[in-house]
Structure 1
Amino acid sequence: MPVVISKELFYEKISKELDCRVIHYWTDNCVQGALPALPQVAIGVAKFFLPIYLLRMAIDYRRKKKNILKTFVIRELRSILYGASLSLIIISSICLLGKICGRIHYYNLLLIPGFLSGLGILVESDENQTLDTLIFFNSFIETNLNALKVNTTKQAILFVIFSGILMQLFENRKEELNFNYWWFYTPPLKKISNDNHQNKCSHENSCRFFITNGVKNYFMLGAGINITKRLLGSFKLLIKSPAKLVNVVFHKSNVYFGLLIAAYVGIYRAITCYLRQTQLLSEKWHGLLAGAISGVPYCFYPTIQLPVLAITTTLQIFYHNLCKHYNITNHFYQRLLLYQCVHACNLHTNFFYPNISSPYYSKMVDACTNRLTSKIYDQLVEKYFL
């Protein structure tokens, strides 16, 4: 059972003699401390990213891109270098801070080294830098929801609220959004026309076709997303037992998630079409009402990733609008600073408060370090807290 290590408990149980050897327990030499960790991290990162990059290679092949094998190798090598950079900077920073401060303190064990190690993301491609930042930011939001003890009922309320706000922002945008986000549905951009006789809706074809076609397509999208997630999570198991592929592809959760996404889009399109045709409500509020009501099906199949996505995408759009209003140039160092902050917080929480850490983040760290972080944690807990 994971032990929660608060700041008070840390200083109560651990004496001033604690030094960085608690991290590189395999040697007393700080210079050599990080070296044995690098092969472990390289193996872990390579295994973790292999199914992801194989999937991307298959997508590149279908799109008839060139040099797909070379691209695959470069992606894998850059990610290995990224993981090695993180671990090297973390261990080196812990040792250096321990020497400067005279001992290991609560926040210089992982929080500060985690922030400094965020510089390791610079070895990744721009595309992966953005993806990693989004993944870690989503994990940060999920961790905080866990810390606030947000149960499924509160999750549903949060989803309804942020779904309404998010769709309100989408509906009232003046142009297409030029940044990456993971929200699954973006309504069509409103058409501006002075023709009073045209269809009041922004879509082509009839409203009935627009709604039913959306339900069909987004059911397939939702099921496809869940299948992909399960395939990536079961990659090692499928290598050993390929017959289990049938269970992964036809698992009932794929249908449930597909129905949830389809219901969301179908209800949203039906409400917005009805409101535009009847003009019962000012058009600028259509997104807020339709988005909130569309979030209700979440109650039947709650999955915390959806409210997390709604929150993060809403914050992304707010930040985008803020930058545009105040003419703030979006440089890479803003993304880097965000990544460093959320990476540090996630790493600190995962080690000291494993009970609230994002499950995906915990599994990812464990896999990418080839369970080295778990071994370090077990050593520390066994020696000082049991």
Structure 2
Amino acid sequence: MSELSKCFYEATAGKTCRDLCHPEYASCWISFVESARLLLPGSFKLYLPYLVIPAIIKGGGYTRKYWRDSILGYCDLSFKTYVVAVCGLTFQCVFYKLFGELKYYWVMFFPGLFSTILSPKMSKVHQRLQGITYFNMMLEALIKQTNLSLVVALRDSKLLGTLLFMIFNARILDILQRVPVNHFWFAYPVKIKKGDVNSEDDSRVLGTIFPSAHKACSHERSCDMHILDGFLKYSLTGFIIELARFFFNKFPVLMKEPRKFLPEARRSLSMQLMFFFGSYIGAYRLIGCLLCRHFGEDRPINNQIAGFLGGLPYLIYPKYQVLTLAFTKFIEVEWDYYFKTAKKIPGWMRQLDRLPYLRIVLILGIAYLYHTIVFYPHLSPSFNRKVINYCSGNRVERLRRRLTGWMLQNEWNKA
């Protein structure tokens, strides 16, 4: 048993679930009712960017069906996340009643595990979104925790992280162009079309910098508009994500003192993500267009080179979340590509492919990150802290501080 676990049992001896989890409520039943009543808005506010950002990236072609499906999907994801939050806080009391004492792994880990297992099953799209998100955050926490020399080098080297991102990005975009696989990624390569030698190059800026005898690229619009549209659209997406983070963090303060909005926005808003998104898509499309002009035609190698060099803007935003997402997406698209193109697939791989691995990693990811946020907060990704505290109405944060105070008091008493 770890030292932290030992300290936990010493500090919580004689304590009840009310002492640790809900001192503001006289009984577990009242705690459950109040959680069910108060936590509903948090999940809906949390996933508001999920409704807004895809609509911005889509950039047009909205239909009634699109908005209906988007709003229903947003409500479905928000409500099921709300159910997990309420069940997680309720299971803390259930397990205390079951054991008659507070147990180390049964305060956060197993409540997170069972609340996810018993929650309503999500759609495949949402399960993929949640599963990959929590797996990436779990991977980030494990990277911070490990002492393996290779992982430490990766953790500390911005250049090594950039090189890995460039490799992953090139391969992901190469596969996305080769086979029709339904995966989210930062960019989507245009399917290769045979250039029309009789067409005219209609790009004024790029045509002046690098003239071409004809339009060699596969995209429909001019190269100028293709690059500019991507840069503006993705920059706006990055800005909206940062703005959403700002509102999540500062919303209570802004509600009480609206005059602080602009000073807080100037101080808190970072443009790094906006510059990363805009530079990433701009560099990828610019390099792709230049290569098409150089060779006089669009070829798979153009997309591979553009994907590799287009990963350089990672230096602007060298975050674990971006690199772990690239790593997991690389594995995912490689797996799907192999199943679509391999002539003979081993039986063990077919059996493994049948496993609901997205649900498994979601369950384990939530359980591990629930435990981490209380007992190893320095390892917990910032987004994980925001999600859990936002959806729990900061009850988990208050629990963590209460428990930390008890353990510190226990150590002082022994000194």
Counterpart selection for 1:217 from 213, 217, 233: 233
- Once the two structures are superposed, the pairs formed by residues 241-260 of structure 1 within 5 Å of their partners are 241-243=257-259, 246=262, 253=269, 255-260=271-276
Task: Give the TM-score taking structure 2 as reference length.
Answer: 0.70
Q: How many residues align?
A: 368
Counterpart-to-counterpart distance in 1, 2:174 and 2:28: 51
Alignment of 1:187 with 2:185, yes or no, is no
Matched with 1:7 is 2
Counterpart selection for 2:181 from 160, 177, 181: 177
TM-superposed deviation, 1:251 = 7.2
Counterpart selection for 2:326 from 306, 310, 313: 310
**Letter aligned with residue 144 of structure 2:** N
Alignment of 1:143 with 2:141, yes or no, is yes
- Once the two structures are superposed, the pairs formed by residues 1-386 of structure 1 within 5 Å of their partners are 7-11=2-6, 14=9, 18=13, 21-25=15-19, 34-43=28-37, 45-52=39-46, 64=64, 65=67, 78-93=80-95, 95-96=97-98, 98=99, 106-122=104-120, 128-148=126-146, 154-155=157-158, 157-173=160-176, 174-179=178-183, 181=184, 183-191=185-193, 193=194, 200-243=216-259, 246=262, 253=269, 255-279=271-295, 284-321=300-337, 324=340, 326=345, 333-386=356-409
Counterpart-to-counterpart distance in 2, 1:171 and 1:57: 29
Counterpart-to-counterpart distance in 1, 2:238 and 2:11: 53
Residues 16, 381 of structure 1: CA spacing in aligned structure 2 closer, same or farther, 3 A cutoff?
closer
Higher mean C-alpha displacement, 337-346 vs 137-146: 137-146
> Residue 168 of structure 1 contacts residue 287 of structure 1 at CA under 8 Å; is this kept in 2?
no
> Residue 80 of structure 2 contacts residue 119 of structure 2 at CA under 8 Å; is this kept in 1?
no
TM-superposed deviation, 1:126 = 5.5
What are the superposed Cα offsets for residues 218-240 of structure 1, whole Å, 9 maximum, x if unpaired? 32332233233333443333433
Matched with 2:206 is none
> Residue 138 of structure 1 contacts residue 309 of structure 1 at CA under 8 Å; is this kept in 2?
yes
Residues 154, 113 of structure 1: CA spacing in aligned structure 2 closer, same or farther, 3 A cutoff?
same
TM-superposed deviation, 1:119 = 1.2
Residues 236, 316 of structure 1: CA spacing in aligned structure 2 closer, same or farther, 3 A cutoff?
farther
**Letter aligned with residue 85 of structure 1:** C
TM-superposed deviation, 1:307 = 2.3
Counterpart-to-counterpart distance in 2, 1:145 and 1:301: 18
Instruction: Work out which structure has the larger RCO, using CA pairs closer than 8 Å and 6 or more positions apart in sequence.
Output: 1
Indicate the RMSD between aligned Cα atoms, in angstroms.
4.4
Give aligned-pair identity as a percent.
Answer: 19
Residues 67, 35 of structure 1: CA spacing in aligned structure 2 closer, same or farther, 3 A cutoff?
same
> Residue 164 of structure 1 contacts residue 290 of structure 1 at CA under 8 Å; is this kept in 2?
no
Residues 350, 177 of structure 1: CA spacing in aligned structure 2 closer, same or farther, 3 A cutoff?
same
> Residue 7 of structure 2 contacts residue 407 of structure 2 at CA under 8 Å; is this kept in 1?
no
> Residue 159 of structure 1 contacts residue 310 of structure 1 at CA under 8 Å; is this kept in 2?
no
Counterpart-to-counterpart distance in 2, 1:68 and 1:336: 22
TM-superposed deviation, 1:130 = 4.0
Higher mean C-alpha displacement, 74-83 vs 357-366: 74-83
Return 5+ residue gaps in structure 1 as ranges.
Answer: 1-5
**Letter aligned with residue 270 of structure 1:** L
TM-superposed deviation, 1:346 = 0.9
**Letter aligned with residue 86 of structure 1:** G
Counterpart-to-counterpart distance in 2, 1:187 and 1:249: 35
TM-superposed deviation, 1:358 = 0.8
